[in-house]
A and B are shown apart, each in its own frame.
Chain A
Amino acid sequence: MEKINVIMTVNGKEETLSVEPRTLLVHALREHLDYTGAHIGCSSSHCGACTIDMNGKSVKSCTVFAPQAEGSEILTVEGIGSPDKLHAIQEMFKEHHGLQCGYCTPGMIMRSYRFLQENPNPTEEEVRFGISGNLCRCTGYQNIVKSIMAAADKIRDEANVEKKEIA
């Protein structure tokens, strides 16, 4: 099948990909651009391990064809922090042990990243509803919820410090 060009911005960098139209976004990211953060779990849009940010919304990248993402802004877990400068959410997942095997973690983190912008001051129940599209078969969610609640606090604290510094 003929390949087509798809242009998108991934983690701040414009990328041009030559793909078959049937290429799924998660494969485009992992195999063409080497962003292996988005994981393939169920490949049927249930588990959320492939969750990324597309145009400011959480989506499951296993259920988007690459050409549907033409012109979009994509953010993967590689784009929000790095090993020497973790994002507050990554730090809190580490501190509160919000993972066991780690397979669902990039999806959990990317969903939390967007969820905490939609709702910076959530209740525990809102966190659970907010991550209801992400499955974890190890933790029983307890520590994941704890990590996200702690990340919400930390992000709010950081924002307050910034505000004070500006004032």
Chain B
Amino acid sequence: MIPSAFTFYKPENIEKAVSLMVDFGDEARVIAGGHSLIPVMKQRLTDIKHLIDLSGINEIKGIEITDNRISIGAMTTQVELINNEELFKKAPIIREASLQIADPQVRNLGTIGGNVANGDPANDMPGLMQLLDATYKLSGSKGVRDVKAREFYEGAYFTVREDDEILISISFEAPSGGYAYEKQKRKIGDYATAAAGVILKVENNMCSSASIALTNLSDTPVYCNKAVDIILGKEIDNNILTQVTEACVEQSDPVADQRGPVEFKKYVAGIVIKKALTRAIERT
């Protein structure tokens, strides 16, 4: 499978990349690891005349940790996220989730920036970023701006990113408490049938903080604000976990596809949510 022809650019800084995006408008696209983009180009589902490779821009690579603030350059690869010990100490859920993405070869090239900017509801990182309440930094012709991950996604492949904007980094506070990212997939290397992430704190058997998010259970990642409201300040018992799980499933809105019908996906959602809650509580 061979994509249609394009011209190739490899700018060495963000300003040049943005100015190429401005010049070429919607005929241009940036490429990061290429592991979502190249497959759709091969299927000719998208017509790109100008391809702008971000791999020459060093300022958007790498992981920076200052106190409890973590900032990750958009061009940081999934394998770099997995192997970074400092990041693992501060936010172990990143490694746990990244290891459930694709396979070793894909993780060697796939980037966090491409994963969150793509807008595919099947990608795992956007859900994770809902969970962490992350902030995305975008750079475009009108300057640099911050957008909350929870406000970034509008629909499948639609985000608030403007055509000439490039995602440069992702930042969040190091989470504290128990955590879990549970993903049900048909095989290694597959996208989620349903996945759920949980971070929570329990003090004196009461839930003192919580965050819950879902992957591939709607046309955008889902932050389960209703479930969070239910669990906050409550004593953790089976009854409350059932209520929380039901509230999450209620907020999901999956579509039928090759991974199964809606009823099945909601059923699997209930299982991964319960599992994630249980494991997060065990880890507090």
Contact = CB atoms under 8 A, between A and B. Distances in A.
Interface of A: 1-2, 4, 20-22, 24, 27, 43-46, 48, 51, 57-60, 63-65, 67-68, 70, 111, 115, 129-130, 132-133
Contacts of B6: 1, 21-22
A67 B35 contact: no
Given A22-B3, A63-B35, A65-B51, 6 more contacts: A22-B2, A22-B4, A46-B189, A63-B34, A130-B104, A132-B189
B247 interface: no
B2 A67 contact: no
Given A4-B8, A44-B42, A133 B106 contact: yes
Given A65-B38, A111-B105, A132-B189, A57 B5 contact: no
A59 B34 contact: no
Interface of B: 1-8, 10, 31, 34-35, 38-39, 42, 51, 53, 55, 79, 102-106, 108-109, 188-189
A159 B106 CA distance: 30
Given A59-B109, A132-B188, A70 B104 contact: no
Q: Which 10 A-B pairs have the closest CB atoms?
A: A133-B103, A21-B8, A1-B5, A132-B188, A57-B108, A133-B105, A67-B8, A60-B105, A63-B38, A132-B103
A43 B31 CA distance: 18
A24 B37 CA distance: 13
Contacts of B102: 133
A58 B108 contact: yes
A45 B35 contact: yes
Nearest to A40: B1
A4 B39 CA distance: 22
B12 to A, nearest CB: 13
B30 to A, nearest CB: 12
Nearest to B187: A132
Contact of A60 (B7, B79, B106): B106
Nearest to B8: A21
A46 B31 CA distance: 19
Nearest to A23: B2
Contact of B5 (A22, A46, A63): A22
Contacts of B105: 45, 48, 51, 58-60, 111, 133
17 contacts: A2-B7, A21-B51, A22-B2, A22-B4, A44-B1, A44-B42, A45-B106, A48-B105, A57-B109, A58-B104, A58-B108, A59-B108, A63-B35, A65-B51, A67-B53, A130-B104, A133-B102
Nearest to A2: B7
B103 A63 contact: no
